[in-house]
Amino acid sequence: MNLSFFDQFTSPCLLGVPLILLSLLFPPLLFPSPNNRWLTNRLSTLQSWLLHLTTKQLMTPLNQKGHKWALILTSLMMLLLTINLLGLLPYTFTPTTQLSMNMALAFPLWLATLLTGLRNQPSISLGHLLPEGTPTPLIPALILIETISLLIRPLALGVRLTANLTAGHLLIQLISTATTALLPIMPSISILTTMILLLLTILEVAVAMIQAYVFVLLLSLYLQENI
């Protein structure tokens, strides 16, 4: 039974080929590129409004140099958002429940922000490792602590996204299994668990959207420290 709960996190295969790449290519198809012959409708207007609002929220704390990252950060957020939401549909697979994928997204972008700071303002970037006014005996310990906290940032990004989505999917499967098992025995309790399942699904939709935003927001804050 325990193994069956975690089967949903294994990548589906077709003829021995993992379909995770197909699931990653599908979300961008929901946001087609506009052209001169593209007629606007309510859906495209809503998508444009959401993209504009997201870009504005992410780029407001950054200066003019940081605006070069607008396309990368906005595209990453829309990719994570669509993947997380599509993973809540029945008989689908959520690639963002895989720690390897989240680390593959977090580590290069975090390293890019770090290298940007070391190239443009090395003294200020290295100055973050030692707070101002630190007593002399505490300098080695604080430098070590700040270095560890700096290096652990990409791991925290990947683990946060993976853990939140995995926990939500497991809760949904556990409650749905309990609802099915209680239906022939105690129908009234089964109806109650169905209501709980509905509320949990709504909560998981909110979590999927919030986690995508938090992932990109933290990257923008790391970028803000280095520009």
Residue 133 CA to residue 175 CA, distance in Å, equals: 53
pLDDT, position 144: 87
17 beta partners: 14
100 half-sphere exposure, CB direction, 13 A CA radius: 4
Condensed to tens digits (0 to 9), the pLDDT of residues 193-214 reads 899 999 999 999 999 999 999 9
User: So where are the chain's domains?
Assistant: 20-226
Q: Please give the angle made by the CA atoms of 172, 211 and 47, to the nearest 5 degrees.
A: 105
Across all residues in the chain, what is the average pLDDT?
83
pTM: 0.81
pLDDT, position 161: 93
Higher pLDDT, 40 or 50: 50
Condensed to tens digits (0 to 9), the pLDDT of residues 100-151 reads 889 999 999 999 999 988 888 888 777 777 777 778 787 888 888 888 988 9
Q: What is the mean pLDDT of residues 159-182?
A: 89
Condensed to tens digits (0 to 9), the pLDDT of residues 61-111 reads 788 878 888 888 888 988 898 888 888 887 777 888 888 889 999 999 999
Q: In this structure, are residues 174 and 1 in contact, taking their beta carbons and an 8 Å threshold?
A: no
